[in-house]
Amino acid sequence: MNAINFRKYAGNKHSTVDDTPYGGGGGMVLKPDPIFAAVEDITKSEVGQGSPRIILMCPQGETFTQKKAEELSREEHLVFICGHYEGYDERIREHLVTDELSIGDYVLTGGELPAMTVIDAVVRLLPGVLGNETSAATDSFSTGLLEYPHYTRPAEFRSWKVPDVLLSGHHANIEIWRREQALKRTWERRPELLRQIELSKQDRQFLDKLQHEANGTNTNTST
């Protein structure tokens, strides 16, 4: 990873990289020339090797998700543009960047923290970064569901016990329990996610059971 100070590419003695917006208004706008110069300088060695993704961090961008992190983790080179101003000259958006990303519907002082969030989510997916390669595969959102609950020793703590199935050694039953718990947690906390994934017949039956129980009805009651 390399941090590039685009003030070095300002081309003026005061290293000015922003200016007042045409048409008036508050705040300062990031000029196009230092940004284009910085990006072109750090990517010129990659000519003929495929263009890197140029990512602009801004509140108007596509909402960053785990799926986007997985997509970006397959790239050889990523460039993040982090502003600290009222906005960007529109020509940066139109003619330089390949992606615009947002980490949520709120506004921060600059793009540095959002970029670090994206970088962390992406880097942990690279081979060798995590101690256990299966950890990322079962993370919340990787499967489309929130992750199932985890337990460790002791088996009983302050009268709270680990579910019996996790102590059984029966791996097939453990997998069924984990799938159901992931479905249950998603249904309780982020039900909109269930509309975005492909559910098996068993998944739907389990969710129907949860709904019937929530409604106080028998699971055999026809609807």
ω before 154 within 30° of 0 (cis)? yes
- The catalytic position among 33, 70, 71, 86 is 86
- The catalytic position among 93, 124, 178, 179 is 124
Alpha carbon separation from 5 to 16, 44, 93 (Å, rounded): 12, 17, 19
Contacts of 115 (CB under 8 A, 6+ apart): 55, 57, 80, 82
From the CB of residue 145, how many other CB atoms can be counted at a distance below 10 Å? 23
DSSP string, 187-219: HHH-GGGGGGS---HHHHHHHHHHHHHHHT--T
53-63 vs 78-81, strand pairing mode? parallel
Is 76 catalytic? The answer is no
- The catalytic position among 59, 71, 149, 179 is 59
CA distance linking residue 108 with residue 69, whole number of Å: 21
State both tokens at 84.
């600290």
- The catalytic position among 71, 139, 147, 180 is 139
Is 59 catalytic? The answer is yes
CA distance linking residue 6 with residue 157, whole number of Å: 54
State both tokens at 49.
């090797």
Catalytic residues: 59, 86, 124, 139
